[in-house]
Copies of this chain bind each other. A is one copy, B any other.
């Protein structure tokens, strides 16, 4: 009897998605960072995403609860950033044992509220329910000018692949980056506003797991420049920095592709706009989807 562990998240989603009904008005359905919904008459499209943050998977019982709240919000709005959108509202579902001290819940919501304020988000609703462990499920709603959402499927042959920031080691001892990262909302909006990016997604399960998802959606291959991959300080302290950069996950940086003809204007505009955030070219898109020099696998839910 096959279990979720046997097949992993990728195969599960590939199996389930074709069985699910779609309907009109849905510009982008499951399989991208967000759903894109078109509202008749509106000049903006709507972006929708929902993300779980679960005790034992995304944080530990000893993780400071304000940081858990912050992470839950940041994960969800990182998906909005990955489409180039502006996050606006959150819905927050809380699951908790009834024995949870009230002060814990207050600490959790302090983190949620603070992250929401940082990004000018309104808490639009949510629900609470009893369960065996602490969980947050955050739905984020964002907007983007009609037709401007940057999808995973837009990479063209010859495009240059970039990544923001540095990768790897978000969970390593001494790093709390998986809790304290800043979702790349400004970078994503910059890339969509100037129409630099042809495809984009955020790196949540590690470059080695997420890049193939972008390539699959675009039906393309990649010549990755492994030496160019920017390594986090935490990863560089290990004996296998590149492995950590490829496989760890929870970086929440953006990967995106740019037409080679726009490389120069892009790089100078980026440097002016983001003097303290690197955008590093790490590869070039190939026409053949089977040509991919990606060395190792990253994180897949249900298989660890």
Q: Which residues of chain A have a CB within 8 Å of any CB of chain B?
A: 1-7, 9, 12-13, 15-16, 19-26, 29-32, 34-35, 37, 39-44, 46, 48-52, 54, 56-58, 88-89, 91, 93, 95-103, 105-106, 109-110, 112-113, 116-117, 120-133, 135, 137, 139, 141, 143, 301-303
Contact = CB atoms under 8 A, between A and B. Distances in A.
Nearest to A302: B98
Contact of A42 (B39, B58, B101, B103): B39
B100 A4 contact: yes
Nearest to A58: B129
B125 A1 contact: no
Closest 8 CB pairs of A and B: A23-B122, A35-B124, A20-B123, A42-B42, A5-B98, A35-B125, A98-B302, A137-B137
Nearest to A8: B98
Given A5-B99, A41-B44, A51-B127, 14 more contacts: A2-B102, A4-B96, A12-B102, A15-B106, A22-B123, A23-B89, A23-B120, A29-B122, A39-B42, A48-B124, A48-B141, A54-B95, A56-B132, A58-B129
A142 B215 CA distance: 33
B48 A102 contact: no
A89 B12 contact: no
A126 B4 contact: no
13 contacts: A3-B99, A4-B97, A29-B122, A30-B124, A30-B125, A50-B126, A50-B127, A50-B137, A51-B127, A128-B302, A129-B301, A130-B302, A132-B132
A20 B302 contact: no
With most chain B CB atoms within 10 A of its CB, the pick from A4, A7, A24, A37 is: A4
A263 to B, nearest CB: 32
Contact of A43 (B40, B99, B128): B40
| Prevailing SS type, chain A contact patch | mixed
A21 B125 contact: no
Nearest to A97: B4
A73 to B, nearest CB: 11
Contact of A16 (B2, B49, B50, B109): B109
Contact of A125 (B3, B24, B25, B48): B48
A100 B9 CA distance: 13
A123 B29 contact: yes
Contacts of A100: 3-4
Contact of A48 (B7, B91, B117, B143): B91
Given A2-B101, A20-B109, A125-B34, A52 B95 contact: yes
Given A21-B122, A23-B88, A137 B93 contact: yes
A105 B19 CA distance: 12
A140 B301 CA distance: 24
Nearest to A125: B35
